[in-house]
Amino acid sequence: MNGSIEEVAREHRPLHVAIIMDGNGRWAEQRGLPRLAGHERGAEAVRRTVTAACEEGLHALTLYAFSEQNWGRPDIEVGHLMRLLATFLDQERQLLCERDVRVRAIGDRDRLPVSVRAALARTESATAGNRGLQLGLAISYGGREDILQAARALAEAAVRGQLRPADIDEHKLGAALGSRGLPPVDLVIRTSGEQRLSNFLLWESAYAELYFTPCLWPDFDGEALRLAMVAFGRRDRRFGQVRVAG
């Protein structure tokens, strides 16, 4: 490994990391296994990554668990993913509490099965008082859809006379998003070699550093997360400004 996370100064570490967990299906296909097996191994990668995020002292970690567009997948795969998600939440709840992790889901909950909504509610309630890692689960989520619902909420408030259109600014729009209360995303990681955002945290990632790795999600672990954080620490983040020498 070239460099280490210890070499990255604290001020150059990301506060909020977001991960597009891609490659479960390809991982399974490469091994002659059904796609569902890839999703099951992907759940193990989630466990490893959350543990590593806690150890590295991240403030927030948001995982792209299921997109709004994923509803178009075959029913058998969607059903398996939903069952896997509910089981994961119930099985990991105690460990999340022990690690002081607070869980919050973002996305359209109305489309989720009752079992998943109930598991989310139990986990969010059980971890609500935790003050460690803020773990966001983007489920039935789309960045464009989230911005749209925020714009509608602000428009409705303006129609009711609770808000002047002229007073709508970045802060108010950001506060209407599902990710409200979290810092902007510093680092977006996408596994499997694909290089696109796929409608993930579009507003929140406006100035995020992008890190693409060929590693398939089921193989992702703490070392892979640390490699991404080291790469982030070497980036020169200017936020549209120009460095002045001297």
DSSP string of 24-63, one letter each residue: HHHHHHHTT--HHHHHHHHHHHHHHHHHHHHHTT-SEEEE
| Residue 246 maps to a domain | no
| Residue 167 maps to a domain | no
Q: pLDDT at position 238, please?
A: 72
| Residue 135 maps to a domain | yes
Per the listing, tokens 């299921």 go with 66
Grouping H, G, I as helix, E, B as strand and the rest as coil, residue 10 is helix
Q: pLDDT at position 8, please?
A: 54
At 116, list the tokens.
């998943």
- What's the CA gap between 180 and 20, in Å, rounded? 19
Grouping H, G, I as helix, E, B as strand and the rest as coil, residue 15 is coil
| Residue 51 maps to a domain | yes
Q: pLDDT at position 2, please?
A: 46
217 in Cβ contact with 23 (< 8 Å) = yes
Task: Give CA angle at 129 (51, 97), nearest 5°.
Answer: 35
Q: How many CB atoms lie under 10 A from the CB of residue 30?
A: 11
Is 108 marked active-site?
no
CATH number at residue 118: 3.40.1180.10
| Residue 221 maps to a domain | yes
Which residue blocks in the chain are alpha helix, DSSP H? 24-30, 35-55, 75-98, 114-127, 143-159, 170-175, 222-233
Considering 2, 22, 186, 236, which one is annotated as catalytic? 22
Considering 2, 24, 70, 110, which one is annotated as catalytic? 70
154 in Cβ contact with 172 (< 8 Å) = yes
| Number of domains making up the chain | 1
| Residue 194 maps to a domain | yes
Q: pLDDT at position 9, please?
A: 54
Identity of the amino acid at 41: R
| Residue 153 maps to a domain | no
Q: pLDDT at position 12, please?
A: 79
| Residue 205 maps to a domain | yes
Is 70 marked active-site?
yes
Q: pLDDT at position 1, please?
A: 41
- Residue 133 sits in which domain range? 12-142+185-233
pLDDT tens digits, the chain, 246 residues: what are they? 445 555 555 557 999 999 999 999 999 999 999 999 999 999 999 999 999 999 999 999 999 999 999 999 999 999 999 999 999 999 999 999 999 999 999 999 999 999 999 999 999 999 999 999 999 999 999 999 999 999 999 999 999 999 999 999 999 999 999 999 999 999 999 999 999 999 999 999 999 999 999 999 999 999 999 999 999 999 987 766 656 555
